[in-house]
Structure 1
Amino acid sequence: MSVFMISQLLIVIAICFDLMSFQFKQKRMIVTCLSVSVLLTSIHFALLAQWTAAALMLLAAVRYIVTIFSYSKRLMFLFLAANLVLTVVTFGGLTSLFSFAGGSLQTIASFSKSDQRLRQIMMVGISFWLVNHVLAGSPMAVMMESLFIGSNLVGYYRFYGMKLSS
């Protein structure tokens, strides 16, 4: 099996965790599923030599675990700074910028105390990752983010109806 096919298989597994994540109401369950998903996605990007995305996803796995225990704004700023450093060190062009934007928005989202706010900001961050995946040429990652947005919207509707903010 080729490296590319292995990378795509890892995304299929990550998709399962993504789809589950936003069907939970408790933030703890959401971010636990997300941490597994982004760890698999990090390996996926390493196999594709997309180093910024791989590094930011690995950092995101750690970040999600940290946010189970803390909402500290200091930690949020530490993770945002780490996003910037990793992006500069691994910079590879336009995909790095989209990875950085998506990772930074998802960092802000994951430190939200409210699952509703987490969902709202996460959807914007997902959009940047979706563009990154298109540019990186990973069809399964594009599908993953598309399903992730859909799952997030379904979960949002289930728990909050059509209300857009609170």
Structure 2
Amino acid sequence: MSDFLISQILVTITLIIEFFAMQLKNKNYILAALSVSCFFNGIHYLLLDQPTAGLIFLFSSIRFLVSIKWKFQWVSIASLCISLVITITTYIGLLSIIGFVATVFVTVGSFSHNDKFLRLMMIAGGTLWFVHNLILWTPVGILVEAIFVSSSFIGYYRYYLTNKPIKPLPPTYKDN
């Protein structure tokens, strides 16, 4: 079995986990699910000879678990620094830059206390990973990010855009 085929099987596991993760309401459950999905996604990228993305995702697996327990800004900054070191030491071009910028959004969101902000940052980061995967041409990886971004938006819509009270329009006064 080729490395490419194995990578697509592993990223299918990521797909299944991420499809359900963003529909969860509890932020810690979302982060735990994303931790597991990042592990499989990281191996997927390493099999595709993408060391920056692979190591960033393997580190992200740990980072998501850490962010469940500790929301300190210094931990977020340390995580961003580690991701930057990974990017610099494994730099292979545009894909490394896109992956790092995507990781900035996801990291900032994962250390936030605000679920709404987390979802918005996941949408931004996921969109950049989608672009990354298009350039790399990893078909299931493209599908993963398309579903992740869609699911994130649906979760955001369900929890933050529906059931909002509609403000009545101010009365209009006609001149007699």
TM-score by length of 1: 0.95
Match of 2:41 in 1: 41
Which residues of structure 1 form unaligned runs of 5+?
none
How far apart are residue 6 of structure 1 and its match? 0.7
Amino acid at match of 1:157: Y
> 1:16-165 residue pairs with structure 2 within 5 A?
16-161=16-161
Q: Which runs of 4+ in 1 moved over 6 A?
A: none
> How many angstroms apart in 2 are the aligned matches of 1:103 and 1:3?
25
Counterpart CA distance in 2 for 1:22 and 1:130 is 16
CA deviation after TM superposition for structure 1 residue 121, in Å = 1.1
Paired with 1:59 and 1:50, the residues of 2 have a C-alpha distance of 14
Structure 2 unaligned residues grouped into runs of 5+:
165-176
Offset at 1:103? 0.9
Aligned Cα root-mean-square deviation (Å): 1.0
Q: Tell me the amino acid that sits aligned with residue 149 of structure 2.
A: I
Structure 1 equivalent of residue 15 of structure 2: 15
Q: Distance in 2 between matches of 1:131 and 1:58?
A: 20
| Structure 2: distance between partners of 1:22 and 1:73 | 23
Distance in 1 between the 2:140 and 2:22 partners? 19
Question: How far apart are the structure 2 equivalents of 1:139 and 1:121?
Answer: 23
- Shift of residue 105 of structure 1? 1.1
Alpha-carbon distance between aligned partners in 1 of 2:46 and 2:142, rounded to the nearest angstrom: 16
Instruction: Provide the TM-score with structure 2 as the length reference.
Output: 0.90
Q: Distance in 2 between matches of 1:52 and 1:136?
A: 13
- Higher helix proportion: 1
Shift of 1:123: 0.7
SS of alignment partner, residue 92 of structure 1: coil
Structure with the greater alpha carbon radius of gyration: 2
Corresponding residue pairs, total: 163
Give identity over the alignment, percent.
Answer: 35
